[in-house]
């Protein structure tokens, strides 16, 4: 489903984010990409979203080279990939409902579908009672739930989460990971970039370990080992 | 498709209202810009009416000998009227000239007495020629000097006033050029200020634009609401500027009329209300929309 083929990203001669990375992700997998800060986790996710271009190699999503897609058509790719960010990236002038609805509106959904689906996903993430709150009226954990709701509302094939619990306390962290596991149980591929040891060890799923931009380990039921 | 445009309009209107501090700041700058635009219109009206009035004060007079036949003078008047450069030709008969002379010197006993002693009308008839613009007097004067009627022409006062007419003509040409130049420079500055204000307003939304791109919104869907907000800035600013101009022209109208000799700006404002409103609306809306398109494009790179 997703293939990184000998991908490198060099920002400058002294700054290499990822180096000759090759791996494949199958549909319905739950993968953790682990590594210290600066190991290249976020860069890999940015390359998949075509937010950044590789210096070498190719990234394929459903057999399509994502960096060969014209910029104007990237919207279609990004609707197939739901994204959850460490800093939530919610639209500050929109309520929780509107933030989630925006992703559907952008995809051209009808008003009727939006009216049905948005409350459903907000219910799923446990935020239906705060649907009309603005982001500044929500806690960190609640903002991340809105972010997850927005990521899944278009029923994407893949969810990528870049340090989704980086700004959260242990209770919220646990709940967010449970939510991601639940999403994966609906056959959605989930890719989580994290440096949280407890999360990775608790999951007992595939773990790709990055060190200095290179893959040092790729284990089916991996642990956080650095 | 309809739902697409409906959403763009809705988001635009909501953003215009929700970001009211940015809206307020931008509208204030736009009002200032449209105020300067309107003021340029009023200034150009005053300037060109003043220049027209001064131009009308310039004419040349062709004085005929006392024995010139009236039919010759009328024939020359008809010939002059056919000239495209000639605005008007006024015929002043000998009798009329004497009347005017007497009227002008009614309090001067010596002149009145001298005229009575003379017994006959010593004044010749004359033609007052007004050209379309002062630069054309020279060619008119040359034509008169070379015409078949030159024998009955006593004198043409252009040659006495040539220097003054030429200087005045140059001053008027320069005044118009300076007026246009100043207006263009001012308009340029105003457009830049308004453009940069909108750019700043959109700069505050750059993170939002990035997020929209990342959650799969197409460029036009992201750009649309910003353009709507830009258009709304233009509309609201044009309305506010018109509201400002009403009391201002009411107060300034008679004063400016006294100083420049007309027209009354308030009457001009009311008489051309819709044209002025449409001009401000067009400038405001175009600037709002174009600035938004350019400013958003910069942030649609990811």
What is the enclosing helix (H) or strand (E) of A48? helix A41-48
Provide the pLDDT confidence category of residue B284 given band limits of 50, 70 and 90. very high
Final residue of a structural domain among B118, B151, B184? B151
pLDDT of residue B155: 83
Q: Is B120 within a domain?
A: yes
Instruction: Give the residue on B whose Cα is nearest the Cα of A51.
Output: B302
Same domain (yes/no): B80, B121 = yes
**Do B199 and B281 reside in the same domain of the chain?**
yes
Give the domain-ending residue among B119, B151, B183.
B151
DSSP string over chain B: -HHHHHHHHHHHHHHHHHTHHHHHHHHHHHHHHHHHHHHHHHHHHHHHHHHHHHHHH--EEEEEPTT--HHHHHHHHHHHHT-TTEEEEEEE-HHHHHHHHHHHTTT-HHHHHHHHHH-S--PPPEEEEEESSGGGHHHHHHHHHHSTTTTTEEEETHHHHHHHHHHHHHHHHHHHHHHHHHHHHHHHHHHHHHHHHHHHHHHTTHHHHHHHHHTT--HHHHHHHHHHHHHHHHHHHHHHHHHHHHHHHHHHHHHHHHHH----HHHHHHHTHHHHHHHHHHHHHHHHHHHHHHHHHTT---
Query: How much is the pLDDT for B205?
Result: 85
Judged by CB atoms within 8 Å, which residues 167-226 of A form the interface with B? none
Cβ contacts of B212 on chain A, cutoff 8 Å: 91, 102, 106
B3 touches chain A (CB under 8 A): yes
Q: Which domain holds residue B138?
A: 66-151
Domain assignment present for A132? yes
Does A119 map to a domain? Answer: yes
**Is residue B188 domain-shared with residue B40, that is, in the same domain?**
yes
Residue B169 has pLDDT above 80, yes or no: no
The answer as to whether A225 is a domain residue is no
Task: Say yes or no: B142 and B199 in one domain.
Answer: no
Check residue A150 and give its pLDDT.
94
Instruction: Looking at the structure, tell me whether residues B290 and B185 fall in a common domain.
Output: yes
Q: Which of A54, A38, A40 is nearest to A3 (CA)?
A: A54
Does the distance separating the beta carbons of A91 and B208 come in below 8 Å?
A: yes
- B179 is a domain residue: yes
Smallest Cα distance from B220 to chain A, Å = 9
The structural domain count of chain B equals: 2
Closest to A103 (Cβ–Cβ): which among B3, B208, B216?
A: B216
- CB-closest option in A75, A102, A111 to B218: A75
Quick: pLDDT tens for B20-75: 898 999 999 999 989 988 988 888 888 888 877 777 777 788 888 888 888 888 88
Report how far residue B297's alpha carbon sits from residue A145's, in angstroms, rounded to the nearest whole number: 31
Range with the poorest average pLDDT among A35-44, A50-59, B52-61: B52-61
**What is the pLDDT confidence band of residue A13, given thresholds at 50, 70 and 90?**
confident
pLDDT tens digits for B105-161? 888 888 888 878 877 888 888 888 888 877 788 888 888 878 777 778 888 877 667
As a whole number of angstroms, the distance between CA B261 and CA B245 comes to: 20
Judge whether residue A101 has pLDDT over 90.
yes
List, for residues A133-170, the tens digit of each pLDDT value: 999 999 998 999 999 999 999 999 999 999 888 888 88
Domain count, chain A: 1
pLDDT score recorded for residue B216: 87
- Does a cis peptide bond (omega within 30 degrees of 0) precede residue B207? no
CB proximity A134 to B under 8 Å = no
Question: In this complex, is the C-beta atom of A78 within 8 Å of any C-beta atom belonging to chain B?
Answer: yes
Is B156 part of any domain?
A: no
Name the range with the highest mean pLDDT among A65-69, B80-84, B178-182.
A65-69
User: What is the per-residue pLDDT for B159?
Assistant: 67
Does the residue B163 lie in any domain?
A: no
> Which range among A21-35, A72-86, B66-80 shows the weakest confidence by mean pLDDT?
B66-80
A226 in any annotated domain: no
ipTM of the complex, rounded to two decimals: 0.83
- Do B80 and B46 sit in the same domain of this protein? no
B232 in the same domain as B114 = no
Q: Is B48 within the bounds of a domain? A: yes
- pLDDT tens for residues B231-257? 999 999 999 999 999 999 999 888 888
For residue A211, what is the domain's CATH number?
Answer: 3.40.50.300
The DSSP code for A43 is H
Express as a percent the part of chain A with pLDDT over 70.
100
Verify that B293 and B191 share a domain, yes or no. Answer: yes
Is A65 within 8 Å of A59 (Cβ atoms)? yes
pLDDT beyond 70 at A47: yes
Q: Is there a single domain that holds both residue B48 and residue B179?
A: yes
Does residue B159 lie within any of the structural domains?
no
- The domain boundary, picked from B97, B120, B151, lies at B151
Q: Are residues B174 and B50 part of one domain?
A: yes
Pair (B186, B230) in one structural domain:
yes
Mean pLDDT for the stretch of residues B200-214? 87
Residue A119 has pLDDT above 80, yes or no: yes
Residue B213 belongs to some domain of the structure: yes
Domain assignment present for A224: no
pLDDT for B72 equals 83
* B251 occurs within a structural domain: yes
Q: Check if A111 contacts B (Cβ < 8 Å).
A: yes
- CATH number of the domain that residue B123 is part of: 3.30.70.3040
- Rounded to an integer, the average pLDDT of B258-269 is 83
Which of B18, B21, B216 to mutate to probe the A interface, most A CBs <10 Å? B216
**Exposed/middle/buried for residue A14 (C-beta within 10 Å: 0-12, 13-18, 19+):** exposed
Q: Which domain holds residue A215?
A: 2-219
Is B208 part of the contact surface with chain A (CB cutoff 8 Å)? yes
Number of other residues whose CB lies within 10 A of the CB of residue A142: 19
Stretch A84-109: mean pLDDT: 91
Give pLDDT, residue B197. Answer: 87
Domain identity same for B95 and B223: no
């Amino acid at each position: 489903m997703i293939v990184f083929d000998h991908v490198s990203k060099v920002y400058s001669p002294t700054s290499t984010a990822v180096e000759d990375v090759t791996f494949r992700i199958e549909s319905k997998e739950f993968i953790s990409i682990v590594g210290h800060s600066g190991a290249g986790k976020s860069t890999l996710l940015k390359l998949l979203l075509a937010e950044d271009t590789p210096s070498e190699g190719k990234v394929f999503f459903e057999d399509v080279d994502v960096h060969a897609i014209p910029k104007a058509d990237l919207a279609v790719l990004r609707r197939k990939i739901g994204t959850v960010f460490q800093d939530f990236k919610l639209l500050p002038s929109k309520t929780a409902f509107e933030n989630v609805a925006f992703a559907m509106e952008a995809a051209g959904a009808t008003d009727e579908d939006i009216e049905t689906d948005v409350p459903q996903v907000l219910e799923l993430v446990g935020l239906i009672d705060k649907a009309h709150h603005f982001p500044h009226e929500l806690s960190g954990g609640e903002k991340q739930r809105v972010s997850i709701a927005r990521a899944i509302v278009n029923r994407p094939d893949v969810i990528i989460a870049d340090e989704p619990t980086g700004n959260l306390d242990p209770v919220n962290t646990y709940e967010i990971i449970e939510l991601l596991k639940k999403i994966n149980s609906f056959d959605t591929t989930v890719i989580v970039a994290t440096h949280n040891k407890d999360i990775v060890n608790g999951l007992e799923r595939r773990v790709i370990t990055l060190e200095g931009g290179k893959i040092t380990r790729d284990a089916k039921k991996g642990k956080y080992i650095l | 498709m309809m739902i697409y445009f409906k959403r763009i309009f809705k988001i635009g209107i909501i953003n215009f209202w929700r970001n009211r501090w940015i809206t307020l700041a931008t509208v204030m700058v736009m009002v200032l810009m449209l105020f300067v635009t309107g003021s340029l219109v009023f200034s150009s009206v005053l300037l060109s009416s003043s220049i027209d009035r001064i131009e009308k004060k310039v004419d040349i007079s062709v004085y005929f000998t006392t024995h010139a036949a009236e039919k010759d003078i009328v024939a020359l008047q008809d010939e002059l009227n056919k000239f495209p450069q000639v605005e008007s030709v006024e015929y002043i008969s000998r009798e009329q000239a004497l009347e005017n002379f007497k009227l002008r010197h009614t309090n001067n006993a010596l002149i009145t007495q001298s005229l009575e002693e003379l017994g006959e009308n010593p004044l010749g008839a004359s033609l007052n020629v007004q050209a379309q613009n002062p630069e054309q007097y020279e060619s008119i004067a040359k034509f008169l000097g070379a015409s078949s009627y030159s024998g009955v022409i006593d004198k043409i006062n252009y040659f006495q006033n040539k220097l003054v007419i030429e200087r005045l003509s140059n001053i008027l040409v320069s005044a118009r050029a300076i007026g246009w130049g100043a207006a263009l420079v001012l308009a340029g500055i105003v457009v830049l200020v308004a453009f940069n204000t909108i750019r700043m307003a959109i700069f505050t939304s750059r993170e939002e634009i990035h997020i929209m791109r990342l959650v799969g919104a197409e460029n036009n869907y992201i750009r649309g609401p910003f353009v709507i907000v830009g258009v709304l800035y233009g509309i609201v600013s044009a309305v506010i500027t018109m509201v400002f101009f009403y009391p201002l022209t009411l107060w300034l109208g008679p004063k400016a009329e006294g100083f420049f000799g007309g027209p009354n700006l308030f009457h001009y404002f009311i008489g051309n209300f819709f044209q002025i409103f449409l001009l401000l609306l067009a400038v405001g809306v175009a600037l709002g929309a174009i600035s938004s398109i350019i400013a958003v494009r910069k942030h649609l790179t990811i």
